[in-house]
Amino acid sequence: MSGGAGFIGSHVTVELIEAGYDVIVADNLSNCDMTCFNGVKKITGREDIPFVKMDFCNPVATELLFDSNQIDAVIHFSGYKAVGESVMDPLKYYKNNLESFINVIESARDHGCSNILFSSSATVYGEPDVLPVTENTPRQPATSPYGNTKQMCEDILRDSVKAYSNIRGIALRYFNPIGAHPSALIGELPRGVPNNLVPFITQTAIGKRECLSVFGDDYPTPDGTCQRDFIDIVDLAKAHVFAVRRMLEGKMKDEYEIFNIGTGKPLSVMELIKGFEKANGVKLNYKIAPRRPGDVTAIWADPSLANKELGWKAERDIEETLAAAWAWEKHIASGE
């Protein structure tokens, strides 16, 4: 699992281990530290989870990983992910996000690893004309280099599967993963100022941030704030177990498949803020700020294909999710 020590990777590791799979976690720790990996060991009771510190942009290191292990499926999480930074430094994003994935596919192809699962994103849909979006909704031109790398990686996987008969692939298009594991031992741990909404909410609630900015309240939505499909991180992690099982058991209907991983329920930024206050009995200091360039007005998934084909469905309600996010923030603050 490339990039397996981060927010999503750590939760996926837990779910895979609990489903009976052996997992190798590989990460260069450029976006995270060992906090969540250590949390995974506590949750699973497994001190023996292999960890390899490496950079997937290094083809020799990638080759060595596949040489040294019998790998049946690879999940690719490695990649820079800050939209704003990608606009300021596009070459950093194109080099890292594309090169690392190309190296993974090459090594998988050359070492008999038939199954490649790519961590994609709803950003590929841009500002959709029709909601909710299905897997057949046309991709719009990306609004950032980050989003463009997601589109390009999907295309690289699609074309590789078509060209090399010994590999197949699944792209999971995530919507907005939020929350933390119910144990409060792993969660989202941004470096510096958070790019995502929920860590900014929890850091404001605990006093680490003075005020939360809501970017725009004049959008054409019921309350004027942007709408998103916020999905619990544990629900999202479970989707990977279903996808890996589908590949390993030979149940794919095509050599390359795409699935939306979302709840199918839109929630506005303001609804999320109010939901956090209600779930945790905490009052948030927030203010309305000008719109942020590149923000999509509204997007949410039609997850029916994933529900039907993978047998997966989002189950956790938003109050549970926001309570878990707050418990994780307090755990981090406690320094335990």
Catalytic residue ranges: 146
Question: What phi and psi values does residue 65 have, to the nearest 5 degrees?
Answer: -60, -45
- Alpha carbon dihedral 89, 142, 217, 231, in 10-degree steps, equals -100
Residue with tokens 């499926």: 73
Strand 230-232 vs strand 176-178: parallel, antiparallel, or unpaired?
parallel
Between the alpha carbon of residue 128 and those of residues 125, 133, 140, the distances in Å are 6, 7, 7
| Residue 24, token pair as written in the block | 């190798």
| Integer Cα distance of 80 and 144 in angstroms | 12
Instruction: Say if CB 144 and CB 294 are below 8 A apart.
Output: yes
The conformational region for residue 93 under phi > 0 = left, psi -120 to 50 = alpha, else beta, is: alpha
Which residues, 6+ apart, have CB-to-CB distance to 306 below 8 Å?
A: 239, 259, 260, 261, 312, 313
Which residues, 6+ apart, have CB-to-CB distance to 200 below 8 Å?
A: 194, 209, 212
Residue with tokens 């906090």: 35
